[in-house]
């Protein structure tokens, strides 16, 4: 039966806005889902329910414990309506946990209101509701969260184990054993369907630069973890309890940090791997690097998707991925072998329900539960192929490194001090542009070009760029250039609400449909190359010209 979701938005001095979205019809025939990929949703505990349906701005119409339990169950109901296959719930971070009887951790200070006083276990509520909907419940364990909290649980007794930023050094036997002991507590206390080790919070298990030499320690830790999980499976007589890991999306970074993913897969230690950036969706991720490792095994690959558009503060909460952006990322992941996707921190899509300090101006508060409907679409590559895709190729961490210490800025920088003023970058699009239904447009922003003056044609004055895509020169008649000139009464670059704050810039817009010129369509399936050369107006160029925020929009004609 189709469900209709209705949201009423009322703004001051404006008429109410009624927003409706409908679940697509679903057949009772199991073959209806034959082509779907696995959807592993990761919940960030308190951040998720506080930003969804919980306490701020609400009044309970019944006893608090019953109200809270009902709200938690309704949240799982919405996940089930989106056809989420498994919920990975964060129940451990920095030796705080959701286990009331843990001998190793302190209890989370942000527990759902009213349940503890009524003797109701929120973990059991969530797990039971997941199982009611035939969803898997996976215990997510953050391996070294560094949110700057003081030592908790057993770590208060061992300051000598501290690493940095509130993390703990896995070079110590005691740290690894404490994590194994907590994993056993979870398995002994709850009928979870799996354990997920979130190594992305926050990547470093050892002193900086010492990860590779300690690889053997994490390998042995993972073997002992597998043994615990298998023993729990045998004890419960249930289907295999899974063990998954969330790791950096760059294989070199995994090696640098001591994450021997190849061994973990080859030895059957892990059932799934989630390649992930720390806070952003990396549309350029080389999914196949992980897929190749799983050949001949049962291990699955579920690349992560995040709401943030691959830039750090101050704008990280302002501009978020939209549905077409998610489609583009999923298109790339599936085309190179991904078995599913794993949303992370997805609650930022409806952050306006939570608090002004996580104000997501790109999404309004009504995006709960509408944004979950996006996930439902992303499960099916066939559905994605019929919809427009908007690819984003932004610097993941502009002029900085990943949390794990790797470079991640793929912008092009043309330095006037260099003899050759040319540069290039890779961008991945799993698109067959020989399909006559597809049309594509590219755009990027350029900082540092000289002002052509007034509103004159930019080709007649000022610096210019020569542009090639996969070696093919872009015809000038297919390039539109818009100058975002500084004017007090007009525009002044790009604001924090539009993306990464930028000064005034030139925006290049390129139509990539060249049939009338007799030229071959330049885009290829998979990895493409954008190359630019600076043609300065003066004999000697000055400063640095940067090419940033590359985007490609693929339109599907019906």
Q: Let me know whether 338 and 284 are in one domain.
A: yes
> Which residues on adjacent β-strands are paired with residue 484?
505
User: 496: Cβ–Cβ under 8 A, 6 or more apart, which residues?
Assistant: 314, 315, 318
Domain count, the chain: 2
Q: What is the CATH number of the domain that holds 461?
A: 2.60.120
Per-residue pLDDT of the chain (558 residues; tens, 9 = 90+): 444 444 444 333 333 433 343 444 333 333 346 689 999 999 987 788 777 765 555 677 789 899 889 989 999 999 999 999 999 999 999 999 999 999 999 999 989 889 999 999 999 999 999 999 999 999 999 999 998 788 999 999 999 999 998 899 999 999 999 999 999 999 999 999 999 999 999 999 999 999 999 999 999 999 999 999 999 999 999 999 999 999 999 999 999 999 999 999 999 999 999 999 998 999 999 999 999 999 999 999 999 999 888 666 666 666 889 999 999 999 999 999 999 999 998 988 887 666 554 555 556 667 888 899 999 999 999 999 999 999 999 988 776 778 877 777 889 999 877 878 999 999 999 999 999 899 999 999 999 887 654 443 334 457 889 999 999 999 999 999 988 876 555 567 887 777 778 888 999 999 998 877 778 889 999 999 999 999 887 766 678 999 999 999 999 998
* The Cα angle at residue 385 between residues 381 and 391, in degrees rounded to 5: 100
Question: Which of 361, 393, 425 delimits the end of a domain?
Answer: 393
For residue 510, being part of any structural domain is answered with yes
**3-state DSSP assignment of residue 7:** strand
Q: Name the CA dihedral angle for 260, 261, 264, 265, rounded to a multiple of 10 degrees.
A: -150
Res 2: pLDDT: 43
C-beta atoms surrounding 490 within 10 Å? 8
For residue 403, being part of any structural domain is answered with no
For residue 398, being part of any structural domain is answered with no
Q: Let me know whether 122 and 150 are in one domain.
A: yes
Q: Let me know whether 471 and 549 are in one domain.
A: yes
Question: Which of 366, 393, 420 delimits the end of a domain?
Answer: 393
Asked whether the beta carbons of 532 and 467 are under 8 A apart, the reply is: yes
Res 33: pLDDT: 64
Element (H, E) at 324: helix 323-335
Q: Let me know whether 82 and 206 are in one domain.
A: yes
Q: What is the CATH number of the domain that holds 186?
A: 3.20.20.80
For residue 404, being part of any structural domain is answered with no
Res 417: pLDDT: 73
Q: Let me know whether 418 and 380 are in one domain.
A: no
Whole-angstrom Cα distance, residue 396 to residue 253?
14
Q: Let me know whether 13 and 147 are in one domain.
A: yes
CA proximity to 342, closest of 78, 85, 76: 85
For residue 363, being part of any structural domain is answered with yes
Q: Cis peptide leading into 202, omega within 30 of 0?
A: yes
* Residue tagged 């010492």 (tokens): 210
Q: Let me know whether 359 and 461 are in one domain.
A: no
Helical H segments across 82-210, by residue range: 122-132, 173-189
Helical H segments across 379-417, by residue range: 381-385
Q: 211 phi and psi, to 5 degrees? A: -60, -50
C-beta atoms surrounding 517 within 10 Å? 10
For residue 34, being part of any structural domain is answered with no
Q: Let me know whether 196 and 74 are in one domain.
A: yes
Structure-block tokens of residue 80: 């089930």
Question: Which of 346, 366, 393 delimits the end of a domain?
Answer: 393
Asked whether the beta carbons of 322 and 274 are under 8 A apart, the reply is: no
Q: Let me know whether 438 and 495 are in one domain.
A: yes
Q: 330 phi and psi, to 5 degrees? A: -65, -40
Structure-block tokens of residue 77: 């109901």
For residue 36, being part of any structural domain is answered with no
For residue 512, being part of any structural domain is answered with yes
Asked whether the beta carbons of 505 and 447 are under 8 A apart, the reply is: yes
Whole-angstrom Cα distance, residue 273 to residue 289?
12
Q: Let me know whether 217 and 339 are in one domain.
A: yes
Q: Let me know whether 485 and 374 are in one domain.
A: no
Q: Let me know whether 182 and 50 are in one domain.
A: yes
Domain span at residue 107?
4-28+41-393
Q: Cis peptide leading into 369, omega within 30 of 0?
A: yes
Asked whether the beta carbons of 366 and 419 are under 8 A apart, the reply is: no
């Amino acid at each position: 039966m189709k469900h209709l979701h209705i949201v009423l938005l009322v703004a001051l001095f404006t008429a109410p806005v009624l927003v409706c979205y409908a679940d697509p019809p679903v057949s009772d025939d199991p073959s209806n889902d034959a082509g779907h990929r696995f959807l592993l949703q990761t919940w960030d505990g308190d951040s998720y329910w506080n930003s969804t349906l919980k306490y701020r701005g609400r009044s309970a119409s019944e006893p608090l414990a019953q109200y809270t339990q009902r709200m938690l169950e309704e949240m799982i109901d919405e996940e089930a309506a989106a056809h989420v296959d498994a919920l990975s719930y964060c129940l451990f971070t920095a030796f705080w946990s959701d286990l009331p009887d843990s001998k190793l951790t302190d209890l989370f200070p942000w527990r759902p209101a009213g349940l503890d006083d009524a003797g109701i276990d929120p973990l059991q509520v969530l797990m039971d509701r997941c199982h009611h909907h035939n969803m898997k419940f996976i215990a997510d364990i953050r391996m070294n969260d560094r949110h700057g909290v003081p030592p908790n649980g057993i770590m208060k007794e061992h300051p000598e184990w501290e690493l940095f930023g509130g993390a703990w050094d896995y070079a110590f036997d005691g740290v690894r054993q404490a994590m194994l002991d907590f994993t056993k507590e979870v398995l002994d206390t709850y009928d979870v369907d799996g354990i997920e080790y979130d190594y992305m919070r926050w990547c470093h298990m050892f002193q900086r630069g010492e990860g590779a030499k300690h690889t053997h320690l994490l390998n042995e830790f993972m073997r002992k973890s597998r043994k615990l999980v298998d023993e729990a499976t045998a004890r419960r007589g249930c289907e295999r309890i899974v063990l998954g890991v969330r790791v950096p999306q760059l294989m070199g970074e995994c090696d640098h940090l001591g994450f021997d993913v190849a061994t973990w897969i080859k030895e059957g230690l892990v059932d799934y791997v989630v390649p992930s950036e720390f806070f952003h969706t990396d549309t350029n991720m080389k999914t196949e690097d992980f897929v190749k490792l799983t050949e001949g095994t049962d291990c699955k690959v579920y690349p992560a998707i995040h709401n943030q558009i691959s830039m750090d503060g101050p704008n990280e909460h302002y501009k978020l991925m939209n549905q077409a952006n998610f489609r583009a990322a999923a298109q790339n992941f599936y085309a190179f072998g991904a078995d599913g996707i794993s949303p992370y921190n997805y609650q930022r899509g409806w952050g306006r329900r939570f608090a002004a300090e996580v104000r997501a101006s790109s999404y309004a508060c009504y995006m709960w539960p509408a944004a979950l409907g996006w996930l439902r679409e992303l499960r099916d590559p066939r559905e994605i192929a019929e919809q427009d895709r908007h690819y984003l190729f932004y610097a993941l961490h502009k002029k900085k490194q990943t949390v794990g210490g790797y470079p991640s800025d793929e912008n092009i920088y043309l330095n006037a001090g260099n003899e050759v003023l040319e540069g290039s970058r890779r961008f991945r699009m799993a698109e067959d542009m020989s399909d006559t239904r597809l049309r594509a447009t590219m755009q990027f922003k350029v900082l540092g070009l000289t002002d052509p003056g007034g509103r004159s044609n930019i080709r007649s004055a000022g610096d210019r760029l020569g542009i090639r895509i996969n070696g093919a020169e872009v015809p000038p008649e297919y390039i539109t250039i818009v100058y975002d000139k500084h004017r007090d009464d007009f525009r002044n670059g790009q604001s924090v609400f539009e993306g990464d704050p930028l000064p005034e810039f030139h925006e290049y817009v390129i139509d990539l449909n060249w049939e009338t010129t007799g030229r071959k369509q330049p885009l290829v399936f998979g990895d493409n190359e954008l190359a630019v050369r600076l043609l300065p107006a003066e004999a000697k160029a000055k400063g640095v010209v940067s090419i940033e925020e590359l985007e490609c929009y693929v339109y599907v004609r019906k």
